[in-house]
Amino acid sequence: MPATTFRVSKKIHDQVRALAQQTGESMQEVISKAIEQHQEQLFWRQVRSPRAVPGTMGERYATDNRAGRAPTEDAAWAE
């Protein structure tokens, strides 16, 4: 896999290194998992947001709730 380098503070570097040592994972795995978790949290925050971003699942959720009905999974997959 191609790699690239980016700068982080010494504090973040030390935290990633400590997590890697605690879990037995590589520093790259720790960072990858943290990014995946952050993306998932952002997704669910958008889904639940009353000011959902247009074109996202959150928009459909907010629109369905304003119409007085619960959003359905079927409606989400209909597009």
pLDDT in tens, 4-43: 898 999 999 999 999 999 999 999 999 999 999 999 998 8
Which pLDDT value is given to residue 69? Answer: 56
Instruction: Read off the pTM.
Output: 0.58
d(CA 56, CA 40): 14
Listed by start position, the domains of the chain span 49-79
| Burial call 10-39: b when 16+ CB within 10 Å, e when fewer | eeeeeebeebbeeeeeeeeebbeeeeeeee
pLDDT at 64 over 50: yes
Three-state SS for 38-76 is HHHHHHHHHHHCCCCCCCCHHHHHHHHHHCCCCCCHHHH
Do residues 41 and 26 lie in contact, with contact meaning Cβ atoms separated by under 8 Å?
no
Which pLDDT value is given to residue 18? Answer: 98
Which pLDDT value is given to residue 66? Answer: 54
Which pLDDT value is given to residue 47? Answer: 77
